[in-house]
Amino acid sequence: MRGPHNIWRLIRTGATFERTGAMGVVLKAIDAPRPLRIAAHVLGWPFKWLGLRGDPALPPVTRAITALGPSYIKFGQILSTRPDFVGVELATQLRVLQDKLPPFPMEQARQTIAREIGKPVDAVFSELSEPVAAASIAQVHKARLADTGEEVAIKVLRPGIERAFRKDIDAFYFAAGLIEFLSPASRRLRPRDVIAHFEATVLRELDLRIETAAAAEFAATTAGDEGFAVPKVEWSLSSRGIMTMEWVEGIQFADIDALDAAGHDRVALADKVLQLFLSHALRDGYFHADMHQGNLRVGADSTIIALDFGIMGRLDEYTRRVYAEILIGFIRKDYRRVAEVHFEAGYVPADRDVDEFAQALRSVGEPIFGMDASRISMGRLLSFLFEVTETFGMETRTELILLQRTMVVVEGVARTLNPNMNIWQVAQPVVEDYIRESLGPRAFARDLFKTARVLARFGPQLPTITERLFTSQTQAQPETTAGQGIGSVAWFAIGAATASIGGVIGAVLF
């Protein structure tokens, strides 16, 4: 890591926020304590002249974030979905970060497309439009295939974007290390691991071949979802630097006036987008992890159309069941069970008191029920949750970071459509369906059959494994009595017999 560069980057970040006037706006929006406001201005003011100027035509925070680059833009995109946290005015300003950023020149886009497909642009496309959307990592053009006349969308990476991201990520690592050094209590949150997770996610997003595969897989796993669609990808016209898929028409989720004018039921759309996300996460273990308004469209028949598959999330079966049990426990106000699940999953150290943890969870969950979403401050809720986790020694679960972040984003998207939405009531039927399918008797039987199938694969190796185990025990413990040796092998024989039985069951059933 380059220490001087990182220090300079962090100083310039604060200076840019101070110079553009964004510092005061942000501190006011999050209702920062007076001491924090004073400290931020005192530390930022001497370096103000070092800050980036940005585009004066943009609002202060948007101006600062766009000037600082793609990593900061990603963070701004998340905040744009949280009007309850940053305020309606600031959230509205930040929405331009989703797909209304300044595009790069058309000539650079044509050069990238020609290089990636290995042919002149005019030989493949009869039409190629100016950029129709530009985001932090890439921009999109509308085109028409020369051979079929089909309309397609071409996503083109920004030139030099990977180098820019690596510089910011390097600075983030430096900041994480500084935080751990200055605040030992923060180490339980594993700041470095959080940045590592972010780095891996972003670098995957910079390879459009991976995104093309993600779109195809997501289309397959959601094919049966009524009212949800994923555009078809064009594999022959997709590579590391470009991605081509069918062109789709629809109204952006952020365009509330247009949705109302078209007669769409915003309350129903809000419920659907949240329930679809939960279905994908719990049922499939594969979900769209960047579901902000810029990546969602509403078709003429109210179908929700997903775009931009650069960030996708995965959850293994065990984690899905833990997550579902935690959710259903909160929904049913069974805080004792929620606490037990945390202990069983190893999320809370075993030496902590489960009853005290359950009581702490009750203090978090109870205020939610009986209230509409517009009266709940997610900022205060998350702050209190942080205090609870710190008290009970919980560590950051890096495998759940993407899920937790996406849940916040999706809830924010839904609230822009229906400010009075109650997330728990909407989530309940989806979670209960998953619980019935995954934690009931049928699920138990499926788990047994899967276990039998795995054991059956080792059938041909059982004689060799048994002989090696018996030989190794005899050589390692020559003084072992005959009875003890036979006992050890007997237990293994029982296991072998179980595997054999599993093989028979697997052969019959599968």
Per residue in 173-219, pLDDT (tens digit) is 877 777 677 666 556 656 777 677 767 777 888 899 999 999 999 99
- Taking 70 as the threshold, does the pLDDT of residue 168 lie above it? yes
Maximum pairwise Cα distance, the chain: 87
Two structure tokens written together for 249: 């028409």
- Please tell me which residue in 84, 99, 290, 308 is annotated as part of the active site: 290
Of 260, 251, 296, the closest CA to residue 414 belongs to 296
Q: What is the mean pLDDT of residues 341-362?
A: 87
Give the model's pLDDT for residue 165. Answer: 83
Question: How far apart, in Å, are the Cα atoms of 77 and each of 163, 278, 293, 333, 411?
Answer: 21, 21, 9, 33, 14
Residue 184, Cβ neighbours under 10 Å: how many? 9
* 289 vs 216, more confident: 216
Residue 173, Cβ neighbours under 10 Å: how many? 18
Amino acid at 430: V
| Model confidence, pTM | 0.73
Rg of the chain taking only CA atoms, in angstroms:
27
Two structure tokens written together for 394: 């919980």
- Taking 90 as the threshold, does the pLDDT of residue 34 lie above it? no
CB 161 within 8 A of CB 183: no
Two structure tokens written together for 65: 């974030």
Reply yes or no on whether 290 is catalytic. Answer: yes
Confidence label for 52 from pLDDT (cuts 50, 70 and 90): confident
Two structure tokens written together for 366: 């109870």
- Tell me how many helices (H) and strands (E) the chain has: 24, 10
Domain boundaries, the chain: 3-99, 102-135+137-247, 250-439, 444-509
- Taking 60 as the threshold, does the pLDDT of residue 510 lie above it? no
Q: What percent of the chain has pLDDT over 90?
A: 29
- Taking 60 as the threshold, does the pLDDT of residue 462 lie above it? yes
CB 456 within 8 A of CB 506: yes
Give the model's pLDDT for residue 74. Answer: 74
Q: Which residues contact 412 (CB under 8 A, 6 or more apart)?
A: 80, 81, 82, 83, 84, 292
Confidence label for 3 from pLDDT (cuts 50, 70 and 90): low
SS3 153: strand
Give the model's pLDDT for residue 298. Answer: 96
Q: What is the pLDDT of residues 20-30, one digit of tens each?
A: 888 888 777 76
SS3 382: helix
CB 29 within 8 A of CB 86: yes
Q: What is the pLDDT of residues 74-96, one digit of tens each?
A: 777 766 655 655 666 777 777 77
Q: What is the mean pLDDT of residues 500-508?
A: 42
